[in-house]
Structure 1
Amino acid sequence: MEERERRPETPAEENGAVGVFLVLGRQLKLLRERAGLSQREFGDLVGYGPDQISSVERGVRTPRPEFLQRADEILGTEGLFRAVIPQVEEAMTKARTRHPEWYRGYAELEAKAVSLHDYSTMGVLGLLQTEGYSRAVFTQRHPPLDEETIEKRVADRLSRQQIFEQWPPPEFSFVMEQAVLERPIGGPGVHKEQLRQLLRIGRMRNVQLQVMPTVRSEHPCLDNSFTLLTPKGKEQVGYLESHGYPRLITDREEVRTLAARYGIIRAQALNPHESLDLIEKMLEER
């Protein structure tokens, strides 16, 4: 059966402002190009990755007020982007979670998290993926997804990354198996961009990114990936997913077990500085 789904609209669609963000994105692209800046160069100046700039320019990502203020300064637009900040804030206030039905409960908790810790074994966590990597993941899925669903899934996944722009920022830690970094999902170009994205996120002050070396002879968790998150004002929960079947763990003893296991994983992994050095070396060799 063809896999299609109903989902909530994007923030812009939901409050009728889709035209605003499409026009805003086109104006941003025009002015960026007129300034002679590539998406990567402009992204470096505003603290965004090139995929994030691309998403804003295509109207599928709601730009944060701080981004619009910085864009005004860099591009010398004399308040053009600041003028739409009220509409942006309204869209962000009214936005609902934009994900498949089975995933929405976790996505709502993730959006409110004050801390998030993840251990990945097979692929880069969706929260860390570039647009190219994400599209390759959904394109390669079997049974195949139709093109409309792929584009929706990619846009929804990228929308989650706005959690990195919140203030005060949540605390993040990520541990991934070395094999995850070595698997060139999407081909050489996509792979290199994904490694650059990991370096960019891993250098954030509120993020600790670690790699579990393949050469380790001991390992506390050969079962599956998992996530631990703490929503604001609530107790820590765990999340597991296998073949599209999710499990949100709220039992205190089960969560405690996962947290203890995660602590051992972090202790056995390379420290954050060693991990970023390894990723840089891998990028140089590509």
Structure 2
Amino acid sequence: MSNEGVDEAGWDLEPGDESAPLVEAVGRLVKFCREAAGLRASDLGDALGYGEDMVRKIERGARIPRPEFLDRADELLNAGGHLKAFKEDMEKARYPKKVRELKALEDRAVEVLLYSNHNIHGLLQTPEYARALFEMRQPAYSSDVVERETAARMARKSVFEREPAPTLSFVQEQVTLERPLGGKMVLRGQLEHLLEVARLRNVTLQVMPTDREEHAGTQGLIEVLKFADGTAVGRSEGAFNGRPVSNLRELRILELRYGMIRAQALTPRESLAFIEHALGRL
């Protein structure tokens, strides 16, 4: 597999991305600092280990510079920290717009209800598991996109580090704990991670067994995020055409379904034992 995009100076900017003006401004600043230092684009590329074309892409705002590129360029060009100052902004800009919007909601949520039926939920995924999912997408993603999507998914896991911690409730279908996506070693690492997360005081993790004769989650994934001001947003694959909803009536329907799913699933203690048993079989 090609490493294109993994070791290069940045990431391609998506067409129409709202971060484009900032990325272009940073590119112009890179060019200004380079010219002030009396260097050609090829000189800067050689000094940093990148091609001239990559430097020019960054300077014209067609490529989002990586934080390490800005670090090294800042030092080489004696930019006085002006390039380094944009590291966090460029790190955020690399993530797809839909991921940035979802992360902003998750960062505000005080309670999160999540039911997943096909894969381990994104907030619970290890980097290896997430990468395996993106690598098996069809049509196939480029390695650059796989790397970008994986990094974006991992960035969302900051929700577990917040203070005060939000209340997080997960229900996973049994099959998601048994299907060896990415291989058995990837699944083993994923199950070990689930056991760690499930023991956090603000996290409840339950397993929905395959042998249940009644199941309120047959319409697919459910996500509900509640905020401190009393508002909430939710969505489900099998309700309201899959679109996000925020009015009280529709949210109550999603919460009713989720409550039934939790009641039908294994208890948290039983779920931990199930995951430990599944891990032991690998």
Cα distance change, pair 148–95 in 1 and its aligned pair in 2 (3 A): closer
Tell me, in whole angstroms, the C-alpha distance in 1 between the residues paired with 2:140 and 2:207: 31
Residue 264 of structure 1 aligns with which residue?
A: 260
Q: 1:127 aligns with which of 123, 128, 134?
A: 123
TM-score (norm 2): 0.66
Q: 1:160 aligns with which of 153, 156, 162?
A: 156
TM-score (norm 1): 0.66
1:109 aligns with 2:101: no
Which runs of no fewer than 5 residues in structure 1 stay unpaired?
17-58, 61-89
Tell me, in whole angstroms, the C-alpha distance in 2 between the residues paired with 1:94 and 1:123: 30
Q: 2:137 aligns with which of 141, 159, 170?
A: 141
Structure 2 residue identity aligned to 1:204: L
Structure 1 residue identity aligned to 2:252: R
1:172 aligns with 2:159: no
Give yes or no for contact 1:228–1:259 (8 Å, CA) kept in 2.
Answer: yes
Summarize the alignment of residues 221-236 of structure 1 with structure 2, pairs less than 5 Å apart.
221-236=217-232
Cα distance change, pair 152–267 in 1 and its aligned pair in 2 (3 A): same
1:215 aligns with 2:231: no
SS at structure 2 position matched to 1:189: helix
Residue 200 of structure 1 aligns with which residue?
A: 196
Structure 1 residue identity aligned to 2:266: L
Give yes or no for contact 1:103–1:246 (8 Å, CA) kept in 2.
Answer: no
Residue 8 of structure 2 aligns with which residue?
A: none
For residues 90-143 of structure 1, give each alpha carbon's deviation from its aligned partner in whole angstroms, at most 9, with x where no partner exists.
977997576423444333211211111100000011111000000000000001
Give yes or no for contact 1:179–1:214 (8 Å, CA) kept in 2.
Answer: yes
Summarize the alignment of residues 176-191 of structure 1 with structure 2, pairs less than 5 Å apart.
176-191=172-187
For residues 197-238 of structure 1, give each alpha carbon's deviation from its aligned partner in whole angstroms, at most 9, with x where no partner exists.
111100100000000011100111211101011133241210
For residues 4-44 of structure 1, give each alpha carbon's deviation from its aligned partner in whole angstroms, at most 9, with x where no partner exists.
752659xxxx999xxxxxxxxxxxxxxxxxxxxxxxxxxxx
Q: 2:247 aligns with which of 248, 251, 266?
A: 251
Q: Which has the larger radius of gyration?
A: 2
1:285 to partner: Cα distance: 1.0
SS at structure 2 position matched to 1:249: coil
Stretches of 4+ aligned residues off by more than 6 angstroms:
90-95
SS at structure 2 position matched to 1:186: coil
Which runs of no fewer than 5 residues in structure 2 stay unpaired?
1-11, 28-66, 69-85
Structure 2 residue identity aligned to 1:213: P
Give yes or no for contact 1:122–1:180 (8 Å, CA) kept in 2.
Answer: yes
Cα distance change, pair 95–188 in 1 and its aligned pair in 2 (3 A): closer
Cα distance change, pair 101–130 in 1 and its aligned pair in 2 (3 A): same
Paired-residue identity, %: 40
